[in-house]
Structure 1
Amino acid sequence: MADAVVVGAGPNGLVAANMLADAGWDVEVLEAQPEPGGAVRSDRGVHPDYVSDLCSAFYPLGVASPVMRALDLERHGLRWRHAPAVLAHPLPDGRCAVLERDAHATAAGLDAFGEGDGEAWLRLYGLWEEMGEEVLRALFSPFPPVRAAVPLAAAARRAGGLRVLRSLLMPVRRLGEQEFAGPGGPMLLAGSALHTDVFPETTAGAGFGWLLAMVGQRYGWPVPEGGAGELTAALVRRLEARGGRVRCGTPVASVIVRGGRALGVRTASGEAVRGARAVLADVSAPALYGGLVGWDDLPGSLRADMRRFDWDHATFKVDWALSGPIPWSSPEAARAGTVHLSPGMDALTDYSAQLATGRVPSEPFALLGQMTTADPARSPAGTESVWAYTHVPHRVAADAGPDGITGVWDERERAAMAGRLEAVLERLAPGFRDRVVERRVIAPPAFQEHNANLLNGALNGGTAMAHQQLVFRPTPGLGRAETPVAGLYLASASAHPGGGVHGGCGANAARAALAHDGPAGRRLLTPGLAALRRLLT
């Protein structure tokens, strides 16, 4: 018997387990896969000499998040590596917008795109310097962020008050049009916004783009030395040093509920594992509600809410082992760890419209990682380990391209979509295909084989759009880790604050478990929040 059982050894589950262990709890983590990590894992499956990251790869929020920083994972073997430049966006005319490690260097490069564009970038970065750290503290706190609200409000007022809020609530296209004369700055912001499933015309897209770009400007977009799995390994080592345990190859079939309270879990083999004080679930909301917890133990309204739950887009990914660096037409792109691939803002809008209408994009916007550029340990000297991914519809209505992709994702469709990505690269880097030694194609259904939470490669645990954020995440309610079952907490990216490897969802679940534990929490906090939830829903 443990004090707490954590279902799932993804980054949120491991962060939650570490925080509970720090509080002196005995913690057991149960993971269905043969190794921990969830979406934070690496292998040599493309080529034995090349390290490839299975899902996530760059971790700007991992180094910026107060939650992750507090764990001090560097003391447990984690080493961050940075590419010479953070992000590049090459354009068809040979120009390239580059997010450099230094803000003034970024600004100097953007001045070549339009008069005053460097000053505009520094103005946006000035907002970050004024209020960025307060934004991070509020973002990764339980909702509502009571303690963080006052300093955030004060910082926002100093930065411009309602005018700043208005700018961040804009579509990212509109912010780019207002602030910049040329396309360089807008593409850095818009590409960053599209790391989620927001479109160039989506309300608050500017806020997403600004946040990720400015985190990159302040902290970089680093990678773990040796592969994404090294971040997971550091979390596991830290947990084990505090007496916690991780059991892999142990899928959980159900949460044991008696009298409205979670008592533990039952594994697929029939083993009952007691969680005397709490059960924390690092699983998607649809996998928890009506899955691990049956509808008989949940309010009727939740069934309808789960039918309305919105996933973010499906993902298609290709990993390559290259014999040499990518031969970019724009040499500046070779210095960046991450490269965004799209010919311009209108192309991003077309791509987004095709996704919204269920069509496989004809000109896919792709995120590409030059992993050996960021971390030389990823492949032999003079070579490059590379990946690129794009989004596709969950249900394919049609193919906007010429290949007749239907969404069955058989060998022909996988090859056709991989070829479409390679064609985008070949236009920007002629000769790219000649350097391919091996490749691995990961179509949407395969992501669930790596991590059951990633339905068709939905990377963010549910849409990042406003209708499923804050008090609406994952369903209308309190926007907190508490669930309708006492002692059970949602610790995955389906909970506030959502997707990204920042540990905030797991930390919020751990904080909730600690707050509800003991006589005061059970007498006051638990019934009080339950009453408020009934009132709101």
Structure 2
Amino acid sequence: MDRPGAEALMVADAVVIGSGPNGLVAANVLADAGWSVVVLEAAAHPGGAVRTAELTIPGFRHDLYSAFHPLAAASPVIDALGLEHYGLRWRHAPGVLAHVFPDDRSVLLSRDVERTAESVGSFAAQDAAAWRAEYARYLDVRDDLIRALLRPFPPVRAGLGLLTTLGVAEALRAMRVATMPVRRYGEERFAGEGARILLAGNAMHTDLGPNQAGSAVFGWLLAMLGQDVGFPVPQGGAGSLTEALVRRLESRGGRVECSRPVTKVLVARGKAVGVVAGGDHVRAAKAVLADVPAPVLYRDLVGADLLPGTLLDDIANFDWDDSTIKVDWALSGPIPWRSAAASAAGTVHLGVDADGLVQVDAELGSGRVPVRPFLLLGQMTTADPSRSPAGTESAWLYSHVPRGGHWPAERLATWADGVEDIVATHAPGFRDLVLGRVVSGPRDLQSGNPSLVDGAINSGTAGIHQQLVFRPTPGIARADTVIERLFLASASAHPGGGVHGAPGANAARAALASHSYYGPVYRPLMRGLHRTLHPPKH
């Protein structure tokens, strides 16, 4: 296993590859159980896609990737860590989310359900009561639903709780909703465009278009979370969430080592025993947890020679989500929206109406850059005044583009100019406020964070064919892998993308289970399941 002259410079109970939120959550859960943990990060700073920097000009703090965090605020995984004791503070914009239609009408999602109801009711009077009823249904199942979504599949305890609350008939109707396109769901529940576009626009935070199966549950959940916990931001920047996770880990004896790229997972007799980082061997006495995309773990860090052919075939079919282009602005003042709803909201959707969302999805699906893109814009100083000097605004915008496109600097600049024209249509004088601008294409995003492969921000499609027991490949929807003591802790694992920490927590719990009192039963069970799914090479 060792190369001649190699020396193990470090030994820990667990080695975690990658310091994104999932890696740091996993490390904290293991440290709480008394394990010694070292986190190895390739970049010079921890955080993965949860980082903040002065990207444009001094004094303007920009979230490099993830910005608003409704899933983190609602996540029982994050809540259990008590990060408020380690410096995390949530801030909110006056409004959660506004969708601005091409004709300048707008609808507002607010944490005040009556304000949201009034807004959607301006499109169709009966939708005010329908929205209140929708939110009441959400509150009835909230805790069990979130636990069911974030725990390993099948979520037995949370599932029983949902069944008890809903009853068999309503549970079957809920299962139907879980497979529905969001456009159809909106049409069944609401009469007007306002409520429907809130659902469909939130579904587009994934790579699922309004007519795609499974998009309803994503759009509905994000809209309801916005109504419930808002779209909060960490005070000072998304990096404050990372800093709190690191502080907590270090207070329990764990370590994060940056500029330590892992190039190989060491395997002996079918078990992960450590990693190679910067040419050094780091031994893992109990487990290796990988917060990296599944194809990177299997093909690059483990290697094809140690994997069953069926798994390699499945990984070859791994389906990424769309690529992304992001623009960051330093603005001399707040964006001068014509819409009062947009001025109040931390997140603004614009560019298209409901039919336009369908067209965007069709163009992306056919490999074309949308002519009229769907734009997601964040007003960070509106949400958190610490992000830029008083009277100014730190803002960003992103949109999806097809994978595999060529985006040289000139093309990115032209695209960003077009985006600014769209914003200025709804906010006259916007371009006069721009003090600094940085445009990041798919390759730029991947360069800053290798886990964002070609600008894919969810570590794999949210399509129903790659969720639950199909994520990242057809299997058992658990963090355990075909290599014993190696666990997948990234968003490529169930339940997928978003800053909620569930893949990391699930991986840590699986590692603990394999070394618990039940380990002699757990390990052979997992080994048998994996051998059934992926027969070993002969």
Q: TM-score, normalised by structure 1?
A: 0.96
Residue 403 of structure 1 corresponds to: none
2:213 matched to which residue of 1? 203
Offset at 1:535?
2.7
Change (3 A) 1:252 1:444: same
Percent identity for Structure 1 against Structure 2:
57
Which of 12, 20, 28 aligns to 1:18? It is 28
Q: Where does residue 4 of structure 2 map in the other structure?
A: none
Deviation by residue 1:385-406 (Cα, 9 ceiling, x = unmatched): 00000000112xxxxxxxxxxx
Shift of 1:300: 1.1
Contact 2:332 2:435 in 1 (8 A): yes
Matches within 5 A, 1:203-222: 203-222=213-232
CA contact (8 A) 2:43 2:260 kept: yes
Residue 271 of structure 1 pairs with residue 288 of structure 2: no
Shift of 1:531: 1.3
Q: Distance in 1 between matches of 2:104 and 2:294?
A: 44
Q: Within 2, Cα distance between the matches of 1:149 and 1:530?
A: 26
Residue type matched to 2:524 in 1? P
Task: Report deviation, 1:123.
Answer: 1.6
8 Å CA contact 1:10, 1:40 repeated in 2: yes
Aligned residue type for 1:462? G
The answer to whether the 8 Å contact 2:327/2:398 transfers is yes
Instruction: For 1:335 and 1:42, locate their aligned partners in 2 and report how far apart those are by CA, in whole Å.
Output: 23
Q: 1:486 aligns with which of 478, 484, 487?
A: 484
Q: Number of aligned pairs? A: 524
2:240 alignment counterpart: 230
Provide closer, same or farther for how the CA distance between residues 164 and 486 of structure 1 changes in structure 2, counting only shifts above 3 A: closer
Q: Which secondary structure does the structure 2 equivalent of 1:46 belong to?
A: coil
Which residue matches 1:525? Answer: 522
Kept in 2: contact 1:127–1:159 (CA 8 A): no
Specify the SS of the correspondent of 1:255. strand
Correspondence list, 1:102-501, <5 A: 102-157=112-167, 160-267=170-277, 269-395=278-404, 407-501=405-499
Aligned counterparts of 1:313 and 1:101: Cα–Cα separation in 2: 30
Q: CA deviation at 1:152?
A: 1.8
Query: Which range is displaced more, 255-264 or 151-160?
Result: 151-160
Q: Paired residue for 2:8? A: none
1:471 offset after TM fit, Å? 0.5
Secondary structure at 2:437's aligned position in 1?
A: strand
Rounded to whole Å, the distance in 1 between the matches of 2:358 and 2:54 is: 36
Alignment deviations for residues 47-70 of structure 1 (CA, whole Å, 9 cap, x no partner): 111000100000000010110000
Deviations 1:370-394 (A, max 9, x none): 0000000001111100000000011
Alignment root-mean-square deviation, CA: 1.2
> What is the letter of the counterpart of residue 278 of structure 1?
A
Other structure's SS at 1:221 match: coil
Provide the C-alpha distance between the structure 1 equivalents of 2:108 and 2:304, rounded to a whole number of angstroms: 50
User: What is the alpha-carbon distance in structure 1 between the residues aligned to residue 103 and residue 371 of structure 2?
Assistant: 20
Distance 2:295 2:533 in 1: 21
Matches of 1:502 and 1:520 in 2, distance apart? Answer: 27
- 1:92-107 matches, cutoff 5 A: 92-107=102-117
Q: Report deviation, 1:533.
A: 2.7
Moved over 3 A (4+): none
- The Cα shift of 1:532 comes to 2.0
Tell me by how many angstroms 1:158 deviates. Answer: 8.2
- Partner letter of residue 139 of structure 1? L
Once the two structures are overlaid, the 10-residue window that deviates more, 292-301 or 152-161, is 152-161
> 1:181, CA displacement in angstroms?
1.8
Aligned to 1:27: 37
1:440, 1:381 → 2: CA distance? 21
Q: In 1, distance between residues paired with 2:58 and 2:191?
A: 47
Contact 1:82-1:220 at 8 Å conserved across structures: yes
SS of 1:485's equivalent in the other structure is coil
Contact 2:337/2:426 (8 A) holds in 1:
yes
State the Cα deviation string for residues 230-260 of structure 1 (Å, max 9, x = none).
Answer: 0000000000000000000000010000000
Q: CA deviation at 1:178?
A: 1.8
Contact 2:352 2:373 in 1 (8 A): no
Match of 2:61, SS state, is: strand
Q: C-alpha displacement at 1:72, in angstroms?
A: 0.8
Paired letter, 1:348: L
Distance apart, 1:110 and its partner CA: 1.2
Determine the structure 2 residue equivalent to 1:82.
Answer: 92
The amino acid that maps onto 1:196 is T
Q: Distance in 1 between matches of 2:150 and 2:180?
A: 22
Distance 1:375 1:29 in 2: 30
Q: TM-score, normalization: structure 2? A: 0.96
- Structure 1 residue runs of 5 or longer lacking an equivalent are 396-406
Output the amino acid matched with 1:295: A
Q: Give 2:522's aligned amino acid.
A: L
Deviation of residue 115 (structure 1)? 2.0
Would the alpha carbon gap of residues 24 and 441 (structure 1) be closer, same or farther in structure 2, given more than 3 Å must change? same
Q: Does residue 14 of structure 2 align to residue 4 of structure 1?
A: yes
Say which SS state the counterpart of residue 39 (structure 2) adopts: strand
Return the offset for 1:93: 2.8
Q: 1:130, 1:159 within 8 Å by CA — same for their partners in 2?
A: no
The 1:9/1:182 distance shift into structure 2, 3 A limit, reads: same
